[in-house]
Structure formats: structure tokens, C-alpha cells
Copies of this chain bind each other. A is one copy, B any other.
Amino acid sequence: MIQFSHCDPAGIVFYPQFFYILSEAKEDFLMHIGHPQHHYINKLRTGWPMVRLETDFKRPSRYGDQIDVDIEVFKLGNTSLGLEYTIRGDDGERLVANSVIVLTNLDTGKPQPIPDDLRAALTPYLKQD
């Protein structure tokens, strides 16, 4: 549900708050596939900095609205991962965002190859053309 804290004086979601919603959806997704982000960051010192983000805002969302967030994998590179997020309300698509994130060693700042077990866990979510 869209929270009070997401909304602005215009009564709709303040757009940076959508990225908090997407961030939480990404955490849930990575936990769901058995690769929780907090394990990677706290234990392995690798994270997922973003390199590119494209977002289309299609319809406004208001305080109290029920929304769904879907995630698909549109790119599964050596070190990079493309995630497409779709937020839907009862009136159809509200927001579509494509992000490219790169698995990165947080101490050196260097990209890391996506490990085989994580790659295998992501593969079922690859977007079908």
C-alpha cells in the first residue's frame, strides 16, 4: 500500500520514493531466490551499484492505493544485471523502470563476475521476448 510517507503536497507519490519501493522489491526478490542482498553486502562486501536507470511514470499513485510490483530480468551479463520493474494499480500500469546494476566489490570498487549459483537462481526470471 502506498504510505503517507511516500506522498508529497500534491497528494501523489513523490517520485524518488518510488525508488525506495523498488529497492524494497529488489531486496524481497533477491531474498526470495535465496541470495539476500544483506548477505552479499555484510559478509561478502559486494554490492549492486546502479549504472543506468530509465523510468516511465504512466499514471499517478495516491496515498492508500494498493499496488503490485513485478520484477523481470532483461539482461544477465558477466558482471551486470538488468532488472525491469513494473508497478501496477487497479487502473493498469503506473510505472515501468529498467535498471542496470553491476556486482561490485565494495572495497576495491571493481566489478565482480556474477557467481554461478546466483546466475542459476536468476535465470528463471529472464524476460521472454
Report the count of interface residues on A (CB-CB < 8 A): 41
Known interface pairs A57-B49, A64-B36. Does A5 touch B10 (Cβ–Cβ under 8 Å)? no
Q: Shortest beta-carbon distance, A111 to chain B, in Å?
A: 13
A8-63, CB < 8 A from B: 8-12, 14-17, 19-20, 23-24, 27, 36-39, 41-42, 47, 49-57, 60, 62-63
Copies of this polypeptide in the complex: 4
A4 within 8 Å of B by Cβ? yes
How many angstroms between the C-alpha atoms of A1 and B53 in the bound complex? Answer: 23
Residue pair B16, A3 in contact (C-beta under 8 Å): no
How many angstroms between the C-alpha atoms of A37 and B63 in the bound complex? Answer: 10
